Amino acid sequence: MLTLQIANIDDPSFKQIMEDTYTRVQSMGMIHLSLYKEGNLKKVEMKEFFNGLGRFIFDTFDASERIRFATKMPPIELDVDVAIPIGLIVNELISNSLKYAFPKQGPGQISVQLLENGGNLYLKVSDDGIGIMENSTIKGTGFGSELISLLTRQLDGKMTLVNDAGTSFTFEFILNKAA
């Protein structure tokens, strides 16, 4: 229904907002689909989920031929209460990389890592694009940045941005607190 509605929107900025909303809804839907498919309504296998999410977002942005996508992680199962916010964070960061990191349809790579160690969960989403320019203004509505901050706080996590040879966002979450 959303894609039909989006096709009828003439205003480019409103159309972008609706496309972003569509990818967010689809991301949550993909998590629920994996729950039902696996027959386990409490845990999500994140590597498989990230691979599927990456394919969906890359297809949406028509970027599969020019940008490589990699999940550098072992299979990790997370409770759905943690998987959904992490999935939305990764959705936002991949989408932002595809929108802003590779101008003029240039090639590149985006990678997602998720590791569990000692009761902590470490997430890293990085690209080898142009990086975030210092003192740059937020492009778009800024809702994606707000959403990432809100979800990070919801999981009692901390986020670090590294702007060197591309852009890298790292997150640390304490698993037994993140619910």
pLDDT at 8 over 90: no
Residue among 94, 71, 80 at smallest CA distance from 144: 94
Mean pLDDT, the chain, rounded, equals 85
Regarding pTM above 0.85, the answer is no
pLDDT at 60 over 70: yes
Spatial contact of 113 and 151, defined as CB atoms under 8 Å apart: no
Residue among 73, 79, 83, 76 at smallest CA distance from 28: 83
The two tokens of residue 34 are 């994996």
Tens of pLDDT, residue by residue over 107-144, are: 999 999 999 998 899 999 999 999 987 655 556 667 78
Spatial contact of 145 and 89, defined as CB atoms under 8 Å apart: no
Beta bridge partners of 172: 122, 158
The amino acid that residue 36 corresponds to is Y
Confidence band for 178, pLDDT divided at 50, 70 and 90: very low
Q: CA-to-CA distance for 15 and 109, rounded, in angstroms? A: 26
The count of C-alpha atoms lying within 13 angstroms of the C-alpha of 155, restricted to the half-sphere facing its C-beta, is 29
pLDDT on residue 91: 92
Percent of the chain scored above 70 by pLDDT? 86
Q: Which comes out higher in pLDDT, residue 33 or 68?
A: 68
Tens of pLDDT, residue by residue over 90-109, are: 999 999 999 899 988 889 99
Residue among 96, 14, 35, 28 at smallest CA distance from 63: 96
**If you average pLDDT over residues 22-36, what whole number do you get?**
71
Max CA pair span of the chain: 50
The amino acid that residue 78 corresponds to is L
For tokens 């907002």, the residue is 17
Domains and CATH numbers, the chain: 2-174 (3.30.565.10)
pLDDT on residue 136: 58
At 53, is the secondary structure helix, strand, or coil?
helix
> Do the strands 120-127 and 158-162 form a parallel or antiparallel pair, or are they unpaired?
unpaired
